[in-house]
Amino acid sequence: MFIVQKKPSDAKSSEITPKSVFMNRRRFIQSAAIAGLIPGILPKDALGAGKGRKLDGIIKSSHSTNQKPTAYDLITSYNNFYEFGTSKDMPALMARDFKTKPWTVSVKGEVNKPGLYDFDGLIKPHQLEERIYRFRCVEAWSMVVPWVGIPLSNIIKRLDPTSKAKYVAFETLNDPMRMPGQRRPILQWPYVEGLRMDEAMNSLTLMAVGLYGEELPNQNGAPIRLIVPWKYGFKSIKSIVSISFVEKMPPTSWNLSAAQEYGFYANVNPEVSHPRWSQAKERKLGGSYFSPKVKTLKFNGYEEEVASLYDGMDLKKFY
């Protein structure tokens, strides 16, 4: 007898929008977006954002939710990527000519195999997986994304960090000529992020190189980005050019910018409000504009897999 075991993050059948309603709503949203009635939501055709090269040899992951993925055109036209603009629709427009080949990633710090790694050399030895993850942003909107990538733990094991490595730090490309948003001091550039080593080694943590079975679009963090599904989206740093293994907790961009609002851990926690809004509820991107928000799940629905990482910690203090 085959039994499907549901997770807290899985959708109820009553929450799945009928296809006819979805298509009519999609046409309305696209028409309204072009007319400027709904800022931040634009169809990919209006932005000229085409699909990438199809990726081969992808296996399905057991970590995936059974929720229906958010539509491709919404995932690729509603983005937070300040290097290409602060509004949600600007990255798809401003990143369309961003060149990601060739691409190298510097590995340094407390590691036995440091060096400058070519993108293909870093990724190709590993099996690509498709993982359908819930993705939650601090602004209280969420989506379900079919990411393609490899577990970060696989890369870490290959690089062989020393016993002194307690954290993993990441850095985004810093090139104002190619990333026009960096010409403005919105944040301290380059964008930096970090994880505790046990978080980085957790089986959910992914280095994504694609979505929907294709190469990662520029506006979604091409060619390689981090995905940590139980944390708010700003932890999932994009267009990575540096991975460092360090002893002390590394600086992170939003913590540097506003420490009272953004902590190092950034775990999805409905019990901890942002100073300017509640995190208790969220709105699913792609649902009805008038549909009610749903309750936010602790650790974004991945509590079973990650809660033990924070045993004994005060998650209101370590937010």
Q: What is the pLDDT of residues 271-307, one digit of tens each?
A: 999 999 999 999 999 877 777 899 999 999 999 999 9
In this structure, the strands spanning 281-284 and 141-151 are: parallel
Lowest mean pLDDT among 17-26, 63-72, 214-223: 17-26
* Within-domain flag for 228: yes
pLDDT, one tens digit per residue, over 124-160 is 999 999 999 999 999 999 999 999 999 999 999 999 9
pLDDT at 50: 55
Where is average pLDDT lowest: 19-28, 77-86, 236-245, 249-258? 19-28
Range(s) of the domain holding residue 149: 52-310
Backbone angles phi, psi at 203, to 5 degrees: -65, -15
Q: Is residue 149 part of a domain?
A: yes
Comparing CA positions, the residue from 223, 111, 109, 210 lying closest to residue 161 is: 111
Residue 183 in any domain: the answer is: yes
- Give the CA distances from residue 166 to residues 35, 110, 148, 220, 314, in Å, rounded to whole numbers and listed in that order: 50, 9, 27, 28, 20
> Is 242 part of a structural domain of the chain?
yes
Q: Is the pLDDT of residue 14 over 50?
A: no
The total number of structural domains in the chain stands at 1
Q: What is the CATH number for 304?
A: 3.90.420.10
For 72-101, what is each residue's pLDDT tens digit?
999 999 999 999 999 999 999 999 999 999
Q: Is residue 101 one of the residues assigned to a domain?
A: yes
Angle subtended at Cα 290 by Cα 288 and Cα 295, rounded to the nearest 5 degrees: 85
Task: Judge whether 31 lies within some domain.
Answer: no
Residue 15 in domain: no
The pTM of the full predicted model, rounded to 2 decimals, is 0.85
pLDDT at 193: 98
In a domain, 5, yes or no: no
d(CA 33, CA 120): 37
